[in-house]
Structure 1
């Protein structure tokens, strides 16, 4: 909690907040140019997000996988690696959980559901570790390998579903066993039968685990040291190659968990997909919005997921094309990425605050 409060009081939080406001303003200008009323559109957006218990629950459901994929990208970045492969890790984690959820039967929930979660998480972790191993052993750039592994993950997942799990006459797997479900029926009923599940709790705990690992353990110190300067870390006696693999394995676990809970908690089956769902790629934007801080990632995912779910309200309530919301999100990301522009906007405030501090 102290880490969160310090981050909220930091310059990075102020920059992120102003970047969000500038992004919303840019979106409003685009709407005005297109002949739409931005006030009506933003009201419709918020009404869609907070208009009913069901909408609130579905917004939370939309936010959950973004937290986990955002943590995946942020964790790798904190250790000096660029994990562009959260999408592939997401898919492999989903497939591992689906396989266990469909094929195993006769197990009690207390065994079956955790087993499906663990298998899916480890599958995603191993998929990430593969890119880490190629980086450590062969010096292959992880950006290239993770991008390629995204496609391999998509086709491999489709192959496994089509060959071993496919329901006859359908383009999807059999339904997972009820004993593997991670839904929360009692909580879903309180939110108008929204598809809420245990993944939300796990995602929030994952942000805490992220912080503990990196800033409260020896392993985390070594991971950050390798990320800052691998040559100095090696000189200090750290196993740089092993830490690279460990970092990508951990990042893969986060992304794999996102896929696990999408299949165990939301859909309860897996389709043969023509394209990736995109949560892993959105996680890159979420990580950027959160400044690669675990608590910032949670807030960034809340913004990104809320805007994504609320875009339907802009379409139906204000007749605004759904592409507009992507312009708003893109504008926010642009201003977060170009912090120099935001700091220039804040320069008069900083000067005024500096004068007040000097007078005091």
Structure 2
């Protein structure tokens, strides 16, 4: 009689899995420290390229205090200008904060889509394409249909979410049915969405009458998010908050969210436990796409009020950084989106006030990605590994004494 063997489950602590989880779901402290190091290095880059610092360096040994004073002033003045342009200044009050919230809205929505896919064990590079398709469908409903006030805006939101869900769900379907890798699929889908939008913007259905430039008609007033008087902040930000709450509930309180996390941790073990891995993969990518589609809705129905070929900008790719910084948690992603929104909103004021190139913000963002992707480097800089080793040594001594 043949012996019945128990199924052999794969080791969930494979090096590849550990690396993915350490980057996407590591401790939040590493993210905070990574941002601090990136800001410090960014400040040094600003300082060493400043003209006054260069002049003071010419007589460094004669009067070193001038050099270090100029170094400090160059770095701090730029960040003060960044703060004034994104949070508060004496002439405008908290008006810059409202602009930061406006800029943060699509980053938060798209970042939540990337973070949700991370928690399901997939690297969603396709937020850009999902955002484009969501924005395209939402914009068409917004300017081509003429409906009552509440109904029109609701349909714009629904069709934007459906567009993103369709684009993300196709990736999940192909991955589940064919085993194709989601990174390759989402990158290719980004290009398809981009060139599809370029094509549509040159058709009569999407191009504004009398215009030669690829720009759509303005969305109906009933299809646009109401804005706060005197600012660009619109109700799309409230949508971002509600989506954050919804994703937090989905991941932490629902059965579907539990299945997503189980598949992300170990798909083979989840399958053995009775989870339909294929269904979870498709649903996770569809939900992720819907969230990115919400970012497209925020763009066309809130900030831009029209559809253009550059509606997505670099939002879909910045969303990856936002999700990484937020460690794939809903509220972490929310606050990471606010931080990156502050960078974007304050960069212009920083350049106008201090002459610091606006590209330095991109450098700081890139450094944040670098340090998030290398947690051991951040721990080494702050000596966290040494503290852990000392603690382990102390515990070993105590254990031996017992």
Q: Is TM-score (shorter-chain normalized) higher than 0.5?
A: yes
Number of aligned pairs? 340
Residue aligning to 1:248: 285
Q: Greater share of helix residues, 1 or 2?
A: 1
Structure 1 residue 154 displacement after superposition: 1.2
Partner SS state of residue 341, structure 2: helix
Structure 1 residue 243 displacement after superposition: 0.9
Residue aligning to 2:355: 319
Q: Given that residues 79 and 247 in structure 1 are in contact (C-alpha distance below 8 angstroms), is that contact kept between their aligned partners in structure 2?
A: yes
Task: Please identify runs of 4+ aligned residues in structure 1 that moved more than 4 A.
Answer: 352-355
Deviations 1:143-179 (A, max 9, x none): 0110011111112123233321211224211111111
Residue aligning to 1:178: 221
Residue aligning to 2:81: 44
Deviations 1:24-81 (A, max 9, x none): 1101111122126111111111111122243221111111111111111110010011
Picking from 86, 108, 113, the partner of 1:72 is 113
Picking from 303, 307, 320, the partner of 1:284 is 320
Residue aligning to 2:36: 21
Q: Given that residues 31 and 38 in structure 1 are in contact (C-alpha distance below 8 angstroms), is that contact kept between their aligned partners in structure 2?
A: yes
Residue aligning to 1:55: 96
Q: Considering only aligned residues, what root-mean-square deviation do their CA atoms show, in Å?
A: 2.1
* C-alpha separation in 1, matches of 2:307 and 2:26: 43
Partner SS state of residue 162, structure 1: coil
Q: How does 1:1-360 map to 2 (within 5 A)?
A: 12-35=27-50, 37-49=74-86, 50-51=88-89, 52=92, 53-105=94-146, 107-163=147-203, 164-167=205-208, 168-169=210-211, 170-184=213-227, 187=228, 189=229, 193-273=230-310, 276-347=312-383, 351=387
Q: Given that residues 15 and 343 in structure 1 are in contact (C-alpha distance below 8 angstroms), is that contact kept between their aligned partners in structure 2?
A: yes
The structure with higher relative contact order (CA 8 Å, sep 6+) is 1
For structure 2, the residue ranges without an aligned partner over 5 or more in a row are 1-24, 52-73, 396-402
For structure 1, the residue ranges without an aligned partner over 5 or more in a row are 1-9
Q: Given that residues 97 and 260 in structure 1 are in contact (C-alpha distance below 8 angstroms), is that contact kept between their aligned partners in structure 2?
A: yes
Residue aligning to 2:13: none
* C-alpha separation in 1, matches of 2:264 and 2:47: 45
Structure 1 residue 280 displacement after superposition: 0.5
Mean alpha-carbon deviation: is it higher for 203-212 or for 110-119? 203-212
* C-alpha separation in 2, matches of 1:68 and 1:294: 10
* C-alpha separation in 2, matches of 1:159 and 1:111: 29
Normalised TM-score (structure 2): 0.80
